[in-house]
Chains A and B, each alone.
Chain A
């Protein structure tokens, strides 16, 4: 019996020790499309300052919801201004820390093995090209990449024809994976995602006027207690980080 109690106590202590995070750590909630670029930036920051950086990637709407529910994020980087505004209106951001970090471009992709060509323009033949198959997109109701895609297709007059043929993914990387695996013949993702995955090729880019500007705002959260949160945000917005963002295909906001 005492052996059992000792074993149980040992496990409990182990679990408690696992949970401890020091005040110098930074937890970042970032849009899914930032994965490779932000991982590299975080590594640089970690090596030069010694502060540990942990990043959680998901769709911006899911992240906003989690922060609202009290998730312990220090930094929030969203893929559109709407979800950042949402957080700001609910007093979830540290005042005066919000910056416009990056911009991106929306593209139509196909599997690397596909030879499909399409010119994006008003009334372009996406529905015909899809046939019975599906267009992979992030959820057009709530995920930024899906919302930009929907705006673009609506302004080009193509949305009503492809509306029924959409395979909705939880975030833009899910849509990317569907095309990369060949499950969907076309998908709408960011240019940076198309660059990051060798299994897809870009068919064409959406004209910037067909959707709201793709802006990635970033801010420190109001609940953040990390001493390294503001330095990390400053680093990500600094000229030193610029070359790396551009290498991954992002456009750095001035």
Chain B
């Protein structure tokens, strides 16, 4: 039985974790904003907006990756602007993989946070307002802490989803070892080569361990946050 973690695996694991963590951190603020808007605001086109936010959840991931490629590729309408004016490139970079993961995990994060915000007692918010707090202060000191369990769950769901993201990543930033070859892509590459089964199996076990760990930590954190907030 070969050692559990071969040296190459560490590089793949580190890249996968970096991509997933960056994707979650980057999408946190937008997700909270979108979740708040969907939970509290009524405006024309709200249903359409809700549908668009949930699109990555139901579209084939390859379609999302292809759309990213068309828009943010080197010669795409957004990509060429980003490259010429800001020097930002997503194509063939780990940043592109992080973007793909962020988009695919976004609906999961929004759903969890939105449910949590909807569960916040509005009378608490109103009470804070009558005591003189501004809207922003109410949001920061009342709504957000009470919605924390949902934010934690949403983040961990998005993290796990980002860790497992394959279709959008391989279509958008292709499969470059050390740069965009995350865990699922590495497993896929090994399954394409006769004799790569041992490596594929080893990496798959790592993926299972990571996913289980993410779920267990999510449960534990949610329960802690629920206990900390007043019943």
Which residues of A are in contact with B by a Cβ distance under 8 Å? 59, 61-62, 64-65, 68, 86, 134, 139, 141-142, 166-170, 174, 178, 181-183
| Centre residue among A64, A142, A166, A183 by max chain B CB count within 10 A | A183
Nearest opposing residue in chain A for B178, CB measure = A164
A65:B75 contact, CB within 8 angstroms = no
CB atoms of A68 and B177 under 8 A apart: no
Docked pose: A62 CA to B189 CA in angstroms: 10
Binding site secondary structure of chain A: mixed
B193 & A167 in contact (Cβ 8 Å cutoff)? no
* A183→B191 contact, CB < 8 A: no
Q: How far is the CA of A65 from the CA of B191 in the complex (A)?
A: 8
Judging by beta carbons under 8 Å apart, are A170 and B175 in contact?
yes
Question: In the complex, A169→B180 CA distance in Å?
Answer: 12
Judging by beta carbons under 8 Å apart, are A139 and B174 in contact? Answer: no
Asked if B194 is an interface residue, CB under 8 A from chain A, the answer is yes
Q: In this assembly, does B18 line the interface, its C-beta being within 8 Å of a C-beta of chain A? A: no
Are the C-beta atoms of A142 and B193 separated by less than 8 Å?
yes
Interchain nearest-CB distance for B140 vs A (Å): 42
The answer to whether A61 and B75 touch across the interface, beta carbons within 8 angstroms, is no
Nearest Cβ in chain B — how far from A66, in angstroms?
Answer: 9
Contact B73 A59 (CB under 8 A): no
Of the four ranges (under 10, 10 to 19, 20 to 34, 35 or more), the interface on chain B belongs to 10 to 19
Given the interface contacts A139-B189, A167-B92, A181-B73, does A64 sit within 8 Å of B174 by beta carbon? no
Contact partners of B119 in chain A: CB under 8 A: none
Contact between A62 and B192, CB atoms less than 8 A apart: yes
Chain A CB within 8 A of B148 CB? no
Contact at B194–A182, with CB atoms within 8 Å?
no
**Contact A168 B174, beta carbon cutoff 8 Å:** yes
In angstroms, Cα B65 to Cα A156, docked, is 36
* Residues of B contacting A183 in the complex (Cβ-Cβ under 8 angstroms): 69, 73-75, 91-92
A-B contact pairs, 26 of them (CB 8 A): A59-B192, A61-B192, A61-B193, A61-B194, A62-B192, A65-B191, A65-B194, A68-B194, A134-B92, A134-B176, A139-B175, A142-B192, A142-B193, A166-B176, A168-B175, A168-B176, A169-B174, A170-B192, A174-B174, A178-B174, A181-B73, A181-B75, A182-B74, A182-B75, A183-B75, A183-B91
Q: How far is the CA of A181 from the CA of B66 in the complex (A)?
A: 12
Query: What is the CB-to-nearest-CB distance from A172 to chain B, in angstroms, rounded to a whole number?
Result: 14
**How far apart are the CA atoms of A142 and B195 in the complex, in Å?**
11
Instruction: Report the Cα distance A181→B191, complex, angstroms.
Output: 27
Give B74's nearest chain A residue, CB to CB. Answer: A183
Please pick, from A65, A134, A174, A178, the residue contacting B193 in the complex, using a CB distance under 8 A. A65
User: Smallest Cβ distance from A111 to chain B, in angstroms?
Assistant: 9
- Apart from A139-B189, A142-B192, A170-B192, list 7 A-B contacts with CB within 8 A: A64-B194, A65-B191, A134-B176, A139-B192, A142-B193, A169-B174, A169-B175
